[in-house]
Structure 1
């Protein structure tokens, strides 16, 4: 309710008798807070309007606040306005997320962007950024700092209000006027205190003296005058009289010309020219900062140059205002842009008699890398442009004009005295070209001489000609240093390259792989033997063969004229303890040799298998032989217990890389046939463990037969207890699990599940046995065993993956499921 009352009050103020052009001494935040507090106290709209009108709130200010309210910038709470000066808030781009209204963008309050007060702008969301747009939805472009006019934003800076300090001693030259409060304190033989406000006709009334005129007097004169008058009724002897200024009056000044909001403003009597310009919203694009005039009683009393305040700190022209003063901001005389290598490149307002020197002073003078002997001036001459090059001696006499663009270029990146030496010297780098360093030998001496690997027979001198083309000169460094060859004179920008023997020689690398601790490529070194290389690579692994180390060497014949059939030379060695080559010790390697350390054929790590379930000693076992069979492992585990069911024993195996590849191929086929969506929704993945169908009873009865399979690492043999049930699943009337009866066939168990369903594919039914075997039922007399599962597929045109999953719920791995699919689609 309070929120709606504020809106109604603002609307009422606009309709009431508010002054049109007078300016309030209250900020927007103070107005809103005043209305809120008055609402809490139960004041009526009429009463609030009269009080705010007396305080100078204008109809224009109320209308602006109403628009801000309508755009969502003023809500039930006004923290945004309380925390910022409202006048300054109008000058910044202020974004506030409108979460309560459910908007996707941001609203920006009326902002001062250098062109005037904008209506409530907004921001469009684009990617991860917010783009400010105007009321028509067009992006607001941020102005380049170099295109801004120096000093123009001083009156739009929320941190620089120029607001007068009323808590300081009253200046002695302050002139009294109607509205000022005079405090007269008398003590001593008599004690009295008189507080009087100067009336509109400029007088105060003192009992016993009557009306005394103080209008226009300064504080110092008023004190002496009042003491003189009061001495008539208070004896001077034994009495002290002190005259001070209490509350000061408000004054009205007019701000005209090129300001954002021209008009009449009510301010403190201590207010200055700068504070009035701040209240008026600052200077427009056309306004002058260099010739702001203050008119009083029809005469100009001050000419304000803002640049003198910014650059020199001069405040004498920022005079205190008086009642009725008129501040006039004319249009600028000249705007000149300075760009390039100056410390503060931007636009500057210049007066008619100012020169390049003055402009450079405003711009902070040249940057460190600027060419300081001349500047370039581009000027509009009638219908075209002209260019003037102003030399340094003429900076103080060349006057700038409106629209001039002054450019300061950077210095050239060329050197006047530069030498450089690179390569195999102790201190390569750039050196000064002078009488002290002007030959090859002197330059080498300055670089602390040659490194040990320097190739001295021929060095290269790169020289730049006058036309900026380059040439190469050979240098006999060895002869120069020994004195057998003449020293070479150097020129500016010469570069001397001393090659290293490693730079011009292809030394290559050596390579080692196989059963070595740190295989890889290593840099070649002279006299590196095979033993040295093995030690460098970390030594042999436990798996390495000491009787077979191969070395492959490139075939090189730099003088050959015919193609060779030989691709490489190969050497084979054995190693003894201490990495000694067996048979030919000290075999020296050559660049690009490749060493292969073979794995010992007699080396083998333990291979672990697991037996669990109904055996006498279940647990992990290490295989004795590569071809150890199922029956051997059961025998080592103590045999089957009396409770074990050998026909139900199964083996799970970890898939090797070839098996994983085959299963991945099957999975790809299923995805193509069934579609990615179905297979992804079922989260079908490859299983690294699959079931192998075994016949443990046959393996134990006839060891070494085909049923007695060979084991491999990771195998797990499970021997279950006797299971006396049979499961019936798939396209039957009622899937069921029933007791196993010896001699009963498939038909009997199908009847226990209510028989076939309507969509049963009778000819495709199959049995899944406990040991992992899957067999198709070709006749009703097919043998049923304890623990098995009878599955009847649905009678559909094409088996879908969902149906397959429905009647293969007992299959534990992808490998078995693939086997089931193979049976179904035959």
Structure 2
């Protein structure tokens, strides 16, 4: 598929891509859909740009074929141009452009959201001048009725039956209507009867002609363009890609018949919406964009910090208007202007009264600074008042007592003996003034006058002492630290912590308390005090009567030793009633679980049964220690490639057959929560792996020794360590081969022949072992043993 798609893309020429886009637009496809389809066909961005240029070249008419064009075809051509251009080159919008060095208005003629296309659905303009290619529709009604539809010929005439050629080229629609009324009066009576006309005519446009105009000067794509005869100067600039980096938006010239008939200022349209300069074009018109005269930059605290093109007579006030005015935090009394004087730079500080007379020059850089980050009349009050915050220094609010009253007075916890007044000196350093707030409020001390930027802080009594918290641990709903409150009891704290859990012991709750002696001058061997309590129905029934908690007390709610949650184990495989079972005794064993489950089926292979156990924290730690040892010798990359990590479970080697025949023996292991016994079906195969010629699985043959099975795998390879052969059993047990190993072979076992590693930690050797182990725990242990050797 990929190959054929690539071939298809390579076979699409630029012209085929262009036709594909045109067909898609005729079918009503969206631009995004077309772009996605072309991308799937392998059209690159570079090819898309070439196609765009090809399309523009086809539309920049170089031959004078300005015969009439069907209005629907004209509209389709313009729409195709617009959509093709948008799809192949996604012009940025005004909001997308970065500010600063962008020239205001320069992107208006290359944005996808503003095309300046003429509307073809307008009523026929009375001042529209007819020309070759226009289709005119002459409706006659009244005593005489007829409709004449004619296209103006290249000679400027239409041919009316019984009258002959009638020249309409160059006439306005209004003038042509009057002219035709006189001409047609020869064959239609009553048209010129001014007192009581019995017939009348109306001339309207059908299909409009295409005109050829030139766009020259500082535009992106100067050239000759074929446009609708309704097109204006702005649409011509849009078709030319807008002005270039040095093009003027304020002095666009329209030349007609060799004369400059208009100077267009695009800023009039942008700033005021004034379209009177957007003049309708005529055949042969030339739009000329000269280079700019004055380009200035304004930055800082204005709403539109950009570069602006100015006219020579425009002033600084006009620039501020173009920039959208000042921002709220702008310093408006003066602006800084950096100007080039022909030899060097100079700085001018222009006052606000001179904004209207200060003329702008090319290259000026204007900066609007921010206001100062300071206050002229700020007061602030903090601490133990009802409405702390910032207030106005005024004739009515200028003393401490008035400021406190303005803040709605002191709160109940206010520390009245002392307050602090922070004051800023003239040199901007700070000083602290001690205030007796109680006497000032009582009127027994002078009411201190305030100054700007004064900050009055009235502390709370709680700010001056360490209230601390109390902490509860253990079997409560929400063990945590809680704010201390006076007269808090043990019962209060337990209630605040959500109450006791089901597992909580009510016969022993301990409280530890800090040793606090601020007047002590020597060490103390006692580092804490301990109190023990019992509860009943949520109340203390045993312990120190009337015990009140203190800050930083810690409460320990113990777990009841008699509380036991259900502990489940599972059995699966060849067992009559497999599934989960709840343990009823701490001494429950393998045989007990098998008996609970109804015993093994007739197809059970008890010798292959295995026990999977959930690893506890200490077991996971040991596995982690082994992995870290391996990482030091093999490297972390090797460990990662093998996928070696600490697992949540591991396999315990068991002999279920012996456990069932000798209950309570050492073979009958004691179970623990989460254990899973798996009993496989009878199997009759033996697997040979490791350093053998062809690793293989063969049928179990009773009485055959290890060498027999090795021969079934093609024998040992040259790098085999024959003396280190071992056997892995289905139940997870591992044993070294002793002698011939005849008695060690069992159905389902796996014979492993280690290889001679050329260097310690050889990855091929380790991977060979890794594939044969029934659990990651066994693999880790075996690799660890290999490393040690």
Same fold (TM over 0.5): yes
Q: 2:201 aligns with which of 238, 242, 249?
A: 242
Q: 1:284 aligns with which of 244, 255, 270?
A: 244
Q: Distance in 1 between matches of 2:267 and 2:601?
A: 110
Does residue 369 of the first structure (1) align with residue 329 of the second (2)?
A: yes
Q: Distance in 1 between matches of 2:730 and 2:162?
A: 128
Q: 2:267 aligns with which of 287, 307, 320?
A: 307
Q: 2:99 aligns with which of 141, 145, 170?
A: 145
Any conservation in 2 of the 1:178–1:202 contact (CA below 8 Å)? yes
> Number of residues paired by the alignment?
712
Q: Distance in 2 between matches of 1:166 and 1:773?
A: 91
Cross-structure match for 1:386: 346
SS at match of 1:331: coil
Any conservation in 1 of the 2:331–2:368 contact (CA below 8 Å)? yes
- The more displaced of 816-825 and 547-556 is 816-825
Any conservation in 1 of the 2:606–2:680 contact (CA below 8 Å)? no
Any conservation in 2 of the 1:260–1:282 contact (CA below 8 Å)? yes
- The more displaced of 717-726 and 500-509 is 717-726
Indicate how the Cα distance of structure 1 residues 559 and 319 shifts in structure 2: closer, same or farther if over 3 A, else same.
same
Tell me by how many angstroms 1:680 deviates. 5.9
Indicate how the Cα distance of structure 1 residues 718 and 243 shifts in structure 2: closer, same or farther if over 3 A, else same.
closer
Alignment of 1:560-599 (within 5 A): 560-562=520-522, 564-566=523-525, 568-577=527-536, 578-580=538-540, 582-599=542-559
SS at match of 2:438: helix
Cross-structure match for 2:84: none
Indicate how the Cα distance of structure 1 residues 428 and 249 shifts in structure 2: closer, same or farther if over 3 A, else same.
same
Q: Distance in 2 between matches of 1:297 and 1:598?
A: 105
Query: Could you report, residue by residue, the CA deviation over 1:310-340 in whole angstroms, capped at 9, with x for unpaired residues?
Result: 3333344444444554444433332222222
Q: Distance in 2 between matches of 1:447 and 1:463?
A: 19
Q: 1:711 aligns with which of 652, 665, 670?
A: 670
Query: Could you report, residue by residue, the CA deviation over 1:236-282 in whole angstroms, capped at 9, with x for unpaired residues?
Result: 56753536255666555554443444455555554443344444443
Tell me by how many angstroms 1:81 deviates. 8.9
Q: Distance in 1 between matches of 2:399 and 2:297?
A: 49
Cross-structure match for 2:65: none
SS at match of 1:568: coil
Cross-structure match for 1:334: 294
Cross-structure match for 1:77: 20
Does residue 351 of the first structure (1) align with residue 294 of the second (2)?
A: no
- The more displaced of 379-388 and 790-799 is 790-799
Alignment of 1:491-510 (within 5 A): 491-510=451-470
Q: Distance in 1 between matches of 2:459 and 2:404?
A: 13
Does residue 470 of the first structure (1) align with residue 413 of the second (2)?
A: no
Indicate how the Cα distance of structure 1 residues 478 and 783 shifts in structure 2: closer, same or farther if over 3 A, else same.
same
Cross-structure match for 1:124: none
Query: Could you report, residue by residue, the CA deviation over 1:390-414 in whole angstroms, capped at 9, with x for unpaired residues?
Result: 2222122121112212222222232
Q: Distance in 1 between matches of 2:776 and 2:17?
A: 67
Query: Could you report, residue by residue, the CA deviation over 1:640-693 in whole angstroms, capped at 9, with x for unpaired residues?
Result: 999999996988473544344334444555676677777766656647354355
Q: Distance in 2 between matches of 1:770 and 1:182?
A: 99
Q: 1:433 aligns with which of 393, 396, 403?
A: 393
Indicate how the Cα distance of structure 1 residues 221 and 662 shifts in structure 2: closer, same or farther if over 3 A, else same.
closer
Q: Distance in 2 between matches of 1:379 and 1:314?
A: 32
Q: 1:514 aligns with which of 474, 477, 490?
A: 474
Q: Distance in 2 between matches of 1:726 and 1:229?
A: 114
Q: Distance in 2 between matches of 1:293 and 1:184?
A: 37
Any conservation in 2 of the 1:155–1:278 contact (CA below 8 Å)? yes
Does residue 738 of the first structure (1) align with residue 738 of the second (2)?
A: no
Q: 1:460 aligns with which of 400, 406, 420?
A: 420
SS at match of 1:585: coil
Tell me by how many angstroms 1:381 deviates. 1.0
Which structure 2 segments of 5+ residues have no match?
1-11, 54-88, 90-95
Q: Distance in 1 between matches of 2:590 and 2:182?
A: 136
Does residue 536 of the first structure (1) align with residue 503 of the second (2)?
A: no
Tell me by how many angstroms 1:416 deviates. 2.0
Cross-structure match for 2:373: 413
Indicate how the Cα distance of structure 1 residues 332 and 110 shifts in structure 2: closer, same or farther if over 3 A, else same.
farther
Q: Distance in 2 between matches of 1:242 and 1:768?
A: 110
Cross-structure match for 1:403: 363
Cross-structure match for 1:46: none
Does residue 557 of the first structure (1) align with residue 511 of the second (2)?
A: no
Indicate how the Cα distance of structure 1 residues 393 and 81 shifts in structure 2: closer, same or farther if over 3 A, else same.
farther
Any conservation in 2 of the 1:182–1:195 contact (CA below 8 Å)? yes
Query: Could you report, residue by residue, the CA deviation over 1:504-538 in whole angstroms, capped at 9, with x for unpaired residues?
Result: 21122222223444322222122223343344334
Q: Distance in 2 between matches of 1:240 and 1:464?
A: 95
Q: Distance in 2 between matches of 1:360 and 1:757?
A: 95
Query: Could you report, residue by residue, the CA deviation over 1:171-192 in whole angstroms, capped at 9, with x for unpaired residues?
Result: 4444556666666666666667
- The more displaced of 280-289 and 645-654 is 645-654
Does residue 688 of the first structure (1) align with residue 681 of the second (2)?
A: no
Any conservation in 2 of the 1:183–1:245 contact (CA below 8 Å)? yes
Query: Could you report, residue by residue, the CA deviation over 1:748-782 in whole angstroms, capped at 9, with x for unpaired residues?
Result: x87798799567877666788899876667677x9
Indicate how the Cα distance of structure 1 residues 324 and 405 shifts in structure 2: closer, same or farther if over 3 A, else same.
same
- The more displaced of 184-193 and 458-467 is 184-193
Tell me by how many angstroms 1:75 deviates. 4.3
Indicate how the Cα distance of structure 1 residues 767 and 205 shifts in structure 2: closer, same or farther if over 3 A, else same.
closer
Larger-Rg structure = 1
Q: Distance in 1 between matches of 2:45 and 2:164?
A: 70
Q: Distance in 1 between matches of 2:452 and 2:252?
A: 57
Any conservation in 1 of the 2:247–2:289 contact (CA below 8 Å)? yes
Any conservation in 2 of the 1:202–1:215 contact (CA below 8 Å)? yes
Indicate how the Cα distance of structure 1 residues 783 and 644 shifts in structure 2: closer, same or farther if over 3 A, else same.
farther
Indicate how the Cα distance of structure 1 residues 793 and 415 shifts in structure 2: closer, same or farther if over 3 A, else same.
closer
Tell me by how many angstroms 1:500 deviates. 1.9
Query: Could you report, residue by residue, the CA deviation over 1:441-462 in whole angstroms, capped at 9, with x for unpaired residues?
Result: 2111111122222222222222
Indicate how the Cα distance of structure 1 residues 739 and 443 shifts in structure 2: closer, same or farther if over 3 A, else same.
same
Any conservation in 1 of the 2:533–2:544 contact (CA below 8 Å)? no
SS at match of 1:462: strand
Q: Distance in 2 between matches of 1:252 and 1:532?
A: 94
Q: 1:100 aligns with which of 27, 33, 41?
A: 41
Alignment of 1:593-608 (within 5 A): 593-600=553-560
Indicate how the Cα distance of structure 1 residues 649 and 289 shifts in structure 2: closer, same or farther if over 3 A, else same.
closer
Query: So what's the TM-score if we normalise by structure 2?
Result: 0.72
Indicate how the Cα distance of structure 1 residues 494 and 296 shifts in structure 2: closer, same or farther if over 3 A, else same.
same
Query: So what's the TM-score if we normalise by structure 1?
Result: 0.69
Indicate how the Cα distance of structure 1 residues 106 and 96 shifts in structure 2: closer, same or farther if over 3 A, else same.
farther
Any conservation in 2 of the 1:646–1:719 contact (CA below 8 Å)? no
Tell me by how many angstroms 1:380 deviates. 0.8
Tell me by how many angstroms 1:437 deviates. 1.7
Any conservation in 1 of the 2:721–2:756 contact (CA below 8 Å)? no
Q: Distance in 2 between matches of 1:632 and 1:347?
A: 90
